[in-house]
Amino acid sequence: MIILITGISSGFGRAMAEKLSSCGHKVYGTYRTLRERLENVTYIQADVTVDSQVEAVVAEVLEAEGRIDVFINNAGIGFGGPLEFATVEQARAQMDVNWLGMVRFMNRIIPVMRKQGGGRILCFSSIGGLMGLPFQGLYSSSKFAIEGYCEALRLETKDFGIKISVIEPGDFATSFTSQRRSSSSPEIHSAYPKYARALASIEQDENSGLKAEYLAKKIERIVRSAHPACRYVIASPLQKLSVFAKRVLPAKWFARILALYYKLN
């Protein structure tokens, strides 16, 4: 298969590119800053927030291969901190990369897949796209947007042979933790004295989380599945349980559980 992945310089993107190329797929991937190249992967430098660069990526793959069988929307960033201190510029940047970056690619890839009679699209959301996570509100908002977009898109494209799956990872040990951007106002810790404790808990969970290679193996199975599911929660048993709890418990009960988990009581 001809596979295009956004954001393959590290983390999930790199692990997926390595796994999928090792299974015989032709993998193209975008990056902004590159540390080390993988063999048998074609790298294309591009910023997902720049329309002309997104257009050029899709054109390059089509010129070389004539089709795109699988598109994996993975590129993303994260802003942390109390929402009160989040700036409009940070909110705009969060959505521009995580959501509009996806939309820019979709606007160019969906016509390709429609005309070629099908394709597969995997869009990375998060467990944070299923529940609003404290002190990660901007990030959760961008992932909620991905969930809604893909839910609508799945219905609109069901007659074209395009199969759309949303990937909802839990905590993983990747560079995402160290690259998270946080509000820097000196008032944060005095206004929100529980923030430091919650942030330490968040980072501990991420640093001790699953490995990116585990996710990559799951993605490879999804790519070759004849009937992929609409969504996949790829997480620890406890985090999968939290997703189930969100669905079945009254909102106030679940909010109390989240507050307890993130040490906000």
**What residues act catalytically?**
9, 125, 139, 143
Q: Among 22, 40, 129, 134, which Cα is nearest to 76's?
A: 129
- Side-chain half-sphere exposure of 209, counting CA atoms within 13 A: 26
| Segment (H or E) for 36 | none
Of 42, 46, 7, 44, which Cα lies nearest the Cα of 26? 42
∠ at Cα 91 (254, 104), nearest 5°?
105
Burial class from Cβ neighbours inside 10 Å (0-12, 13-18, 19+) for residue 264 reads middle
| Number of helices and strands in the chain (H, E) | 11, 9
Q: For residue 133, give the amino acid letter.
A: L
